[in-house]
Amino acid sequence: MQLDWIDDILAVIDTGSLARAAEQRLLTQPAFTRRVRGIETRLGAVLFDRSRKPVTILPGVMAMEPELRELSARLRRLEHDLKISAESGGRGVAFACQHAITATISPWIVKLLTSAQNQPVRVRSGNRDACLMQLLSGDADFAVAYDWTGGGNLALPDAFGTRALGTDQLVPVAAPALRPALAQAEIPAITYPSDVFLGRVASHAIHPRLPDGTVLLPKAETALTLAACEYALDGIGVAWLPQSLVRPHLEAGRLLRVPGLPAEELSVVMIRLAGRSSRQEEAVWRLLGDAPDCPGLS
């Protein structure tokens, strides 16, 4: 079944006659009549009731209108996707994003790229180290991750080039029901493993700045910020989470910013391999780097 055949049949359904369908399809009536006869010949089936004037679609064909419209839309999408795939080298542009960034910042990236360049975008999620490994293996063209300049051997190696997209904050939040526990010396906490990026930031920038006498009592540990957010919402403990991730919960009162506990500023950076750039990658690099900061970042 060809797309033109479907569109010819739908034109008759929409207009109610071969003559008006011919006008819609920008053909003379004799040419359009030959086309529809050719469709019937190729399919080996009669589609039109020629015993009536004007010629009409047979009831059995009319009953298939929803399927014909769905098939027409699917074929058009396939045609578009094949064209875009060919123009973009076959796979579009691929991003590896840190978990929280996948939920908060990647929609802005995808919208910007699909609007400006009309190309497909593939997004993969992982912790920061996994995102960098995807860059090194060639599975991703870019990574978008948090960066911290406070030291602690967290600086990116020279093999990577970076471009800032904005800044975020790692902020302490908890469910309102946890207020009484937050006033104690031992505070229930949701922690990150020490071998992941946010765990290392917490060890170097958060824990040393806790108020004197304050002790974090680990209740749950996870490397996934989205899981830590759910644990915080459930009142399990205080969690240090990106402000861009928890802002809707803070505004709705589902979480509160814990006073007296330290926060830490993080940069959001786009990362690529240094010294390697296709024309398509360079265009994406410039577009995102020159764009206004992502909503939700400062």
How does DSSP classify residue 16? Answer: S
Residue 276 DSSP one-character state: -
Tokens of 266: 């993080």
Once rounded to an integer, what is the mean pLDDT over residues 193-197?
89
What pLDDT, on the 0 to 100 scale, is given for residue 89? 52
What's the pLDDT at 121? 86
CA distance 169 to 186: 24
DSSP line for 148-171: --S-SS-SPPTTEEEEEEEEEEEE
pLDDT of residue 286: 85
Q: Domains of the chain (ranges plus CATH)? A: 3-87 (1.10.10.10), 93-167+267-290 (3.40.190.10), 168-265 (3.40.190.10)
Residue-wise pLDDT for 218-264, tens only, equals: 999 999 999 999 999 999 999 999 999 999 999 999 999 999 999 99
pLDDT tens for 32-51 read: 788 888 887 887 878 877 77
Q: Are 91 and 126 in contact (CB under 8 A)?
A: no
| Report field, pTM of the whole predicted structure over 0.75 | no
pLDDT band for position 152 (cuts 50, 70, 90): low
For the chain, percent of residues with pLDDT exceeding 90? 33
Q: Decide which of 45 and 153 is more confident.
A: 45
For 146-150, 183-187, 224-228, which range has the lowest pLDDT when averaged over its residues? 146-150
* pLDDT exceeds 90 at position 135: no
Q: Which residue has the higher pLDDT, 182 or 19?
A: 182
Helix spans in the chain (H): 3-15, 18-24, 29-43, 59-62, 65-87, 99-104, 106-117, 128-137, 179-182, 197-201, 225-233, 243-252, 279-290
Statement: residue 288 has pLDDT above 80: yes
What distance in Å separates the CA atoms of residue 138 and residue 136, rounded to the nearest whole number?
6
Q: What's the confidence (pLDDT) of residue 226?
A: 92
Neighbour-count burial of 109, counting CB atoms closer than 10 A to its CB (0-12 exposed, 13-18 middle, 19+ buried): buried
